[in-house]
Amino acid sequence: MLKFIFSIVLMLAIMPAFSQEQKTDTVQKPKTQKYGIRVGADLYRFARSFYDDDFQGFEIVADYRLTKKIYAAGEIGNTKITVDDDQLNFTTNGSYIKIGFDYNAYENWLDMENMIYVGFRYGFSSYSQTLNSYKIYDDSGYFEQTVVYPNQEYSGLSAHWLEFVGGIKAELFNNLYLGFSVRLKALITDKKPDNFDNLYIPGFNRTYDGSFGAGFNYTLSYTIPLYKRAK
Partner 1 sequence: MKKIITVFLLALLTAVSFWSCEKDDICAEGTATTPSLIIEFYNRDNRTDPKNVTYFSYFSANLDTIGPLNSENRIEVPLRTDTTATTWNFRLGSSQLGEITYNTDVITFNYETKELYISRACGFKSYFTLNSQSGSTPQPVVIENPEGDDDLWMQDYTIEESNIENEDEVHVKIYF
Burial bucket for residue 227 (CB in 10 Å: 0-12, 13-18, 19+): exposed
Q: Contact between 105 and partner 1 (CB under 8 A)?
A: yes
The DSSP element (H or E) to which 1 belongs, if any, is none
Cα–Cα distance between 3 and 67 in angstroms, integer? 33
Q: How far apart are CA 171 and CA 177, in angstroms?
A: 4
Which positions from 53 through 92 interact with partner 1, judged by CB under 8 A?
85-88
Kindly state whether residue 48 participates in binding partner 1, applying the rule CB under 8 A: no
Q: Is 16 in the site for partner 1 (CB under 8 A)?
A: no
Residues 125-144 vs partner 1: string with x where CB under 8 A? ---------xxxxxxx-xx-
Q: How far is the CB of 139 from partner 1 (least distance, A)?
A: 5
| Segment near partner 1 (CB under 8 A); pick from 18-26, 41-49, 55-63, 164-172 | 164-172
Please report whether residue 218 would count as binding partner 1 according to CB under 8 A: no
Beta carbon of residue 224, minimum distance to partner 1 (angstroms, whole number): 27
- Integer Cα distance of 169 and 62 in angstroms: 12
**Could you say whether residue 51 binds partner 1 (CB under 8 A)?**
no
Pair 214, 187: CB distance under 8 Å: no
Quick one: which of 153, 208, 227, 229 contacts partner 1 (CB under 8 A)?
208
> Which CA distances in Å does 98 have to 47, 124, 185?
21, 6, 12
Q: Which of 182, 220, 222, 225 binds partner 1 (CB under 8 A)?
A: 182
Distance CA(96)–CA(206), nearest Å, equals 14
- The pairing of beta strand 146-148 with beta strand 200-201: unpaired
- Minimal distance, residue 44 CB to partner 1, in Å: 13
Give the end-to-end CA distance of the chain in Å, rounded to a whole number.
Answer: 40
Which residues sit at the interface with partner 1, rule CB under 8 A?
1, 4, 8, 85-88, 105-107, 116, 118, 134-140, 142-143, 146, 148, 164, 166-167, 182-184, 195-197, 199, 208-209, 212, 214-216
